Chain A
Amino acid sequence: MAQVNPKIIESISVREFFESYADKLQLELVAGQDGLKRFIREKSINRPSLALTGYFKHFANRRMQLFGAGEMAYLRDLNESAQYKVLREIVAKHIPCLIVSRNFAPTKAMYSIAEETNTAMFRTPMKSKDFVAEGTVLLEDKFAPRSTIYGTLLDVKGIGTLLRGKSGVGKSECALALVERGHSLVADDVTYIKKVGEREIVGTSAEINRGYMECRGIGIISVADLFGIRCVRVEKRIDLVVTFVEWQPGMEEERTGLDQSTFDMLGIQIPHIQIPVRPGRDMARLVEVGALVQALRLTGHDSAVEFNERLIATMAGDK
């Protein structure tokens, strides 16, 4: 039931970036098509102004190079041979690609260097600051560490809730009951997770089984067809992990909720509750309440702590 080893992404190809985000970033490939096979090796975007002046110490050559108003103006002020010289030097550092913002027209030197060295050059109508902001977020996503976890992910009233437990313990039945109550399914049984930034884990399903789940005794069912499209969600941040454990006499159960245990996902600690499964317990209802308690905690209210503080204050007053 352990997590599959996380996959760390070291680089992505320029082609993958272009094909994924051409629409979002309004990218148009204007030269150097063969350069699409190059790799972006750092999840950031560089403005190569210092490099254009010929200063290459700490040049961020692993990043995409963005030419904005400043870079383009500087370049145009250089004579053609100076342009060739400095551009050749930049490209020789094995940069992934060139991007020109605000739909500026690349100079003749830029076109010929891009073609000659097989370096992809893109143009976008976006402003540099918007391109950097948007592009960084998209890169962050592409470079996010990923893993697979065995569990069913649901959106329970805005709280991303991952149900875990041994096979046959009733995860899918519980998920079904939650869907029936109007919550939505993100992934059944196998959840792909990725770390976004340093704070969040986002879960999704494989594309092939999105909106489907397996229900023992009935078979594969389409949640979207049976319960409506609102019951399917593509991805969701994971806020809570619920593990179903088989109840045994004498086992330790959480009784107060004062101690919040956590579950490690790609190095991020997610709040975790363990619910013992016993015949006759309405698991879906318990998960629903667990998610609501978590929602309350996120708004700064901890029922267990507040109750206990009241009790302690009462006892102190009695003395």
Chain B
Amino acid sequence: MDAMNQANEDSELTKVLKVQNKMGIHARPAAMIVRISNKYNDVEVWVEKDDDQINGKSIMGLMMLAAGQGSELKFTATGSKANELLKELEELFARKFEEA
């Protein structure tokens, strides 16, 4: 087993993702994020922007952040598949939520 990548139960991973689509995290992108985060039952996700921290499985929380284009969100994931979850989110942000 590759000890470097195999996260165990307690490991906490963080990743900073930049909002690149023009309209920012409005309802549709927020729904896409929670669709991913809710797939991972055993992973806890928190999202930070400026002074706010919200649960990454809550769509209302994500929208409350009002993360416009160019803002940065810090995702913190804990759990056995935290790495995979963050990778999926990274790809989603890179795809600009399939928007302009």
* Pair A308/B34 contact, Cβ less than 8 Å: no
Per-residue contact bits, chain A 300-319, to B (CB 8 Å; 1 contact, 0 not):
00001001100110111011
Known interface pairs A250-B39, A256-B59, A311-B63; A316-B27 also in contact (CB < 8 Å): no
Determine whether B5 belongs to the interface, using a CB cutoff of 8 Å to chain A: no
Per-residue contact bits, chain A 245-259, to B (CB 8 Å; 1 contact, 0 not):
000011010011010
> A250, A252, A311 — which one has the most chain B CB atoms within 10 A of its CB?
A311
> B24, B39, B70 — which one has the most chain A CB atoms within 10 A of its CB?
B24
A311→B28 CA distance, assembly (Å): 11
Least distance between A225 CB and chain B CB atoms (Å):
44
Determine whether B66 belongs to the interface, using a CB cutoff of 8 Å to chain A: yes
Known interface pairs A315-B66, A316-B68; A255-B26 also in contact (CB < 8 Å): no
* Pair A318/B41 contact, Cβ less than 8 Å: no
* Pair B41/A255 contact, Cβ less than 8 Å: no
* Pair A256/B30 contact, Cβ less than 8 Å: yes
Output the nearest chain B residue to A314 by Cβ-Cβ distance: B66
Contacting residues, chain A, for B27 (C-beta < 8 A): 256, 258, 304, 307-308, 311
* Chain B residues within 8 Å of chain A by Cβ, number: 20
* Pair A311/B70 contact, Cβ less than 8 Å: no
Per-residue contact bits, chain A 46-72, to B (CB 8 Å; 1 contact, 0 not):
000000000000000000000000000
B residues 53-77 touching A (CB-CB < 8 Å) = 59, 63, 66-71
* Pair A255/B23 contact, Cβ less than 8 Å: no
Output the nearest chain A residue to B70 by Cβ-Cβ distance: A319
Output the nearest chain B residue to A317 by Cβ-Cβ distance: B68
Secondary structure type dominating chain A contacts: helix
Least distance between A46 CB and chain B CB atoms (Å):
54
* Pair B67/A315 contact, Cβ less than 8 Å: yes
Known interface pairs A255-B31, A255-B59, A256-B31; A315-B39 also in contact (CB < 8 Å): no
B26's partner among A249, A315, A318 (CB-CB below 8 A) is: A315
> B27, B35, B39 — which one has the most chain A CB atoms within 10 A of its CB?
B27
B69's partner among A249, A314, A315 (CB-CB below 8 A) is: A315
Least distance between A307 CB and chain B CB atoms (Å):
7
Known interface pairs A250-B39, A255-B31, A256-B59; A319-B26 also in contact (CB < 8 Å): no
Give B residues with C-beta under 8 Å from A.
23-28, 30-31, 34-35, 39, 41, 59, 63, 66-71
Q: Which are the 3 A-B pairs with shortest beta-carbon distances?
A: A315-B68, A315-B24, A308-B27
Contacts A/B (CB < 8 Å), 22 sampled: A249-B41, A250-B39, A252-B35, A255-B35, A255-B59, A256-B28, A256-B30, A258-B27, A304-B27, A307-B63, A308-B26, A308-B28, A311-B63, A312-B24, A315-B25, A315-B26, A315-B66, A315-B67, A315-B68, A318-B68, A318-B71, A319-B69
